[in-house]
Amino acid sequence: MVVVLASAACRSQDARAAQPGVLAPAHFADRVALHSPAPGAPDEPPVEADGAPREGAEADAFAIDLAMALEMGGANSLQVELARAMLAESNALLDTAEARWLPDLWLGVSYEKHEGALQETTGNVLDVSRNAGFIGAGLFASFNFVDALLEPRSALLDVDAAGADVAASVNDTLLGIALAYNDLLEAQSLRGLALENVALARDLVELAEAFSRSGQGLESDAARARNELAGRRRILAAAEESIALRSTVLAKRLRLDPTLALRADEPALVPFVLVPGELELDRLIAQAMESRPDLRSLESTVQAQEEREAQERLRPFVPRLNVGVRGGGLGGGTGSNFDDFDEEGELTASLVWTVRNLGAGESAARRRKAAQHRQAIIRLQLARDSVAEEVSLAHVQIREGRRQMEFAARTVAESLESLELNMRRIRGAEGLPIEALQAIDASAKAKDTYLATVAEFNRSQFRLLRAVGSAPRP
């Protein structure tokens, strides 16, 4: 998913279809082309609440495309950084497990001074004044063969799990950024439609007032038209607010200053095609089971817990080795005299079998590891069920989303045709301006519905790509 989403930041083919107000579908070129605005595509002008252009606001916004957003978010994400820190910890624990065979090295100096009573081994108590000193170094090792042999295997599996967690964290981060970017682009597109609707309402007001002045229409009709214009300006102001809110959300995802205004650098909201529609659900689910990094993490955890359960079963039957060697110089004497300094060396070794708490501790430890192993298996099964559900839901949403977009596009075309016929009749003095009010409202609702349908279709595409875990195989 990292490659597909990070490079699937897309080049839109055409921002709009031939029919006004209808957005044309766009495919990602092999899911690896970069998004770029269509040459010469004009940006919608920023506006005040009354529909007048607002100077400077659009120019002040920082333009960002999907590829840039994904790159910035992947590099700055604290969640990804946390997962990488946990991976570093797992690698350190692996190094510790692999070093269990190596002894500890020590070196140092000791000094002992005794004045007064000291009991001999025979029981006699003597008045003693003496001192002694030692300087030297040594090696000491103490380890259980079970841990030394098996712990590196489970620690390596923990590293595999942590590495998969990093990939899962990256996927989750990229999904959040893609959704936030899509939401911002949707808000910008809704603002563009709101601008069109304000312009239509303003034309209607001019026509209604002209008809009223000439006596061909009623003043109440002109008042209704002005009320419609006020409502469209309110919707435009709400669209501006939505852009600001969604810009803040995206900035937070990218760990940018939340006061920085962002602008999606795309000419229009178009359907993204990341997952081919002809792919069968069973194949997508099967690929998700192989590709999802969070599943790989849980699978490694199950294997690691299995290794640790085996360690506990073997532990009572395998001894602990204690071995030490030291050498140096030892000297001392009576009172404060310090002489007779000479070389001294020592070697000790032992093998110890331990049965904890007369066997009760061994039984509890084995049952605990078995329970942890079982928990890991259940978590994996639950995650697989959840992944299958995620893929199935997104697949259904994409399939039905395509149908909904077709119906919505047809509705837009029909509403625009109706609006054009109404405006033609009015300008030909065959009808009153107020008769176009319903057509304007129907056209606005149809275009808003189409945009909402496209935006939800794109969300489903992003979610399915993340649910599958990698680029779907044809």
What is the separation of C-alpha 10 from the centre of its chain, rounded to a whole number of angstroms? 20
Examine residue 474 and state whether it is found in any structural domain, yes or no.
no
Number of domains in the chain: 1
Examine residue 228 and state whether it is found in any structural domain, yes or no.
yes
Pairing mode, strands 125-144 and 62-64: unpaired
Examine residue 227 and state whether it is found in any structural domain, yes or no.
yes
- DSSP for 127-143 reads EEEEEEEEEEEEEEEEE
Q: Kindly state the tokens that stand for 250.
A: 């995206």
Under the banding of pLDDT at 50, 70 and 90, the label for residue 9 is low
Which residue range(s) make up the domain with 216?
A: 2-468
Examine residue 73 and state whether it is found in any structural domain, yes or no.
yes
Q: Kindly state the tokens that stand for 464.
A: 């399915």
Under the banding of pLDDT at 50, 70 and 90, the label for residue 49 is very low
Rama region for 123: left / alpha / beta (φ>0; ψ in -120 to 50; rest): left
Q: Express each pLDDT in 289-307 by its tens digit.
A: 999 999 999 999 999 999 9
DSSP reduced 3-state for 341 = strand
Examine residue 402 and state whether it is found in any structural domain, yes or no.
yes
Examine residue 473 and state whether it is found in any structural domain, yes or no.
no
At 58 the pLDDT is 56
Examine residue 146 and state whether it is found in any structural domain, yes or no.
yes
Could you give the angle at the alpha carbon of 210 between the alpha carbons of 207 and 211, nearest 5°? 85
Q: Express each pLDDT in 413-427 by its tens digit.
A: 998 888 888 878 777
Comparing 349 with 26, the larger pLDDT belongs to 349
**Residue 146: pLDDT over 50:** yes
Residue 243: CATH number of its domain: 1.20.1600.10
What are the residues whose beta carbons fall under 8 Å from the beta carbon of 235, sequence distance 6 or more? 194, 197
Q: Express each pLDDT in 270-286 by its tens digit.
A: 998 888 777 889 999 99
**Residue 5: pLDDT over 70:** no
| Average pLDDT across the chain, whole number | 83
Examine residue 393 and state whether it is found in any structural domain, yes or no.
yes
What is the separation of C-alpha 391 from the centre of its chain, rounded to a whole number of angstroms? 17
